[in-house]
């Protein structure tokens, strides 16, 4: 397990927090740790919160790993896709505490969760890949088709970046709370969902609502053969 990924349990809610002290970049170690914590708690928790560090939810994939080689970049991309799909189809509600900036792969993760709570502040949220010389992965475009507003869907091609309030209209966030309060708000919302939703009905509806899109996401992960 990565020292930068911690797990706590609050009632029926599992809270996974990523804090690398920097930009919260997704490395293999961090992605593996988040996936392991999800696996360990799926049968006991009734809701999940995924949180970032103060000022950052995630700055995207670890650039050191992405620059090692095309093969290294693809491995990290696909592991990120595995986590995104895992969250998207998880058998419990997932609430993200978007504690600040969330770009590139950080924005991927926002689109995978059920509810996303951001914080007020001068934070940037969105998919900036085209501005840094990277095509968007096929599976990211597909989940964006499902989760983003139709009016903002093509903004991905323009590397559109939003403030937290603008991100609500775009479809990356569901609501915004005062700075420093997103984690507590996410825990409260997840606790409410854990207490009010029937687990069996939730699992059934998850498949009905998202199953076809999930199948497309899984198939599309193999289409991306190069980065940049």
Q: Which residue has the higher pLDDT, 82 or 67?
A: 82
Mean pLDDT of 104-112: 97
Phi/psi at 81 (5° precision)? -65, -35
For the chain, percent of residues with pLDDT exceeding 70 = 98
Please say if the pLDDT value at position 5 is more than 50: yes
- Tell me what pLDDT residue 225 has: 59
Phi and psi torsions of 103, nearest 5°:
-125, 165
- Residue 12 confidence class, pLDDT cut points 50, 70, 90: very high
pLDDT at 28 over 70: yes
Are the CB atoms for 99 and 173 separated by under 8 Å? no
Helix axes 28-41, 70-88, angle to 10 degrees: 20
- Residue 228 scores a pLDDT above 80: no
Q: Do residues 39 and 14 touch, judged by C-beta distance below 8 A?
A: no
For the stretch 122-160, pLDDT in tens is 999 999 999 998 889 999 999 999 999 999 999 999 999
Residue 211's pLDDT is what?
97
Query: Confidence band (pLDDT; 50, 70, 90) for 223?
Result: confident
CA 193, 125, 64, 158 dihedral sign is positive
Question: What value does the mean pLDDT of the chain take?
Answer: 95
| The length of the chain, given as a count of residues | 228
Nearest to 24 by CA among 69, 55, 45, 49: 55
Q: What is the pLDDT of residues 151-176, one digit of tens each?
A: 999 999 999 999 999 999 999 999 99
Buried-exposed string 135-166: b where 16+ CB fall within 10 A, e elsewhere:
ebbbbbbbbbebbbeeebbebbeebbbbbbeb
Mean pLDDT within 102-118 = 98
Gyration radius (Cα) of the chain, Å: 16
* Domains contained in the chain, CATH given: 5-220 (3.90.226.10)
pLDDT grade, residue 67 (50/70/90)? confident
């Amino acid at each position: 397990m990565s020292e930068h990924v911690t797990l706590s349990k609050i009632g029926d809610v599992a809270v996974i927090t990523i804090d690398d002290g920097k930009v919260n970049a997704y490395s293999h170690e961090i992605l593996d740790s988040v996936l392991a914590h999800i696996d360990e708690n799926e049968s006991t928790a009734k809701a999940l919160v995924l949180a970032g560090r103060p000022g950052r939810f995630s700055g995207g994939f670890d650039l050191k790993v992405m620059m090692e080689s095309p093969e290294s970049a693809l491995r990290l991309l696909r592991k990120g896709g595995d986590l995104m799909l895992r969250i998207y189809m998880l058998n419990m509600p997932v609430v993200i505490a978007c504690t600040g900036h969330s770009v590139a792969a950080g924005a991927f993760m926002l689109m995978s969760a059920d509810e996303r709570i951001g914080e007020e502040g001068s934070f940037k949220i969105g998919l900036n890949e085209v501005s840094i010389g990277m095509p968007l992965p096929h599976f990211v475009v597909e989940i964006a088709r499902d989760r983003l507003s139709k009016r903002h869907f093509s903004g991905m091609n323009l590397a559109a970046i939003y403030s937290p309030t603008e991100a609500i209209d775009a479809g990356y966030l569901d609501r915004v709370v005062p700075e420093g309060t997103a984690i507590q708000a996410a825990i409260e919302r997840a606790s409410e969902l854990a207490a009010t939703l029937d687990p069996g009905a939730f699992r059934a509806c998850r498949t009905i609502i998202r199953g076809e899109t999930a199948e497309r996401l899984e198939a599309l992960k193999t289409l991306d053969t190069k980065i940049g």
